[in-house]
């Protein structure tokens, strides 16, 4: 089984720091699970992109890209804000 490496964009780390503390541990746990399965149940491809997906966590979203053996966490935030430019 192939394992994937996780990389966080600096902007995603900033967004993570702004979230409620109760969610941060859940989000980090969900991203760590991506190392074994980059396409977990419930993940969806973002329309209009080649390799960008999202995971729902209640009203929050984790947006990530898959490139070869690397998963790049692009954005983390509330659903009302996450898809804005």
64 φ/ψ angles, rounded to the nearest 5 degrees: -140, 155
**Stated pTM of the model:** 0.90
Q: Please, are residues 34 and 71 in contact by the beta-carbon 8 Å criterion? A: yes
5-82 placed in CATH 3.90.15.10? no
Cα(79)–Cα(68) distance, integer angstroms: 27
Spatial contact of 62 and 2, defined as CB atoms under 8 Å apart: no
pLDDT digits (tens, 9 = 90+) for 6-21: 999 999 999 999 999 9
Q: What is the dihedral of CA 84, 50, 57, 8, to 10 degrees?
A: -80
The enclosing H or E element of 17 equals helix 10-18
All structural domains of the chain with their residue ranges: 5-82
pLDDT tens per residue across span 23-49: 999 999 999 999 999 999 889 999 998
């Amino acid at each position: 089984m192939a394992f994937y490496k996780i990389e966080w964009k600096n902007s995603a780390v900033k967004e993570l720091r702004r979230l409620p503390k109760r969610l941060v541990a859940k989000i980090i746990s969900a991203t760590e699970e991506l190392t074994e399965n980059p396409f977990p149940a419930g993940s969806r491809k973002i329309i209009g992109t080649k390799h960008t997906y999202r995971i729902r966590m209640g009203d929050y979203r984790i947006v990530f890209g898959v490139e070869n053996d690397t998963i790049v966490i692009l954005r983390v935030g509330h659903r009302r804000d996450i898809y804005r430019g």
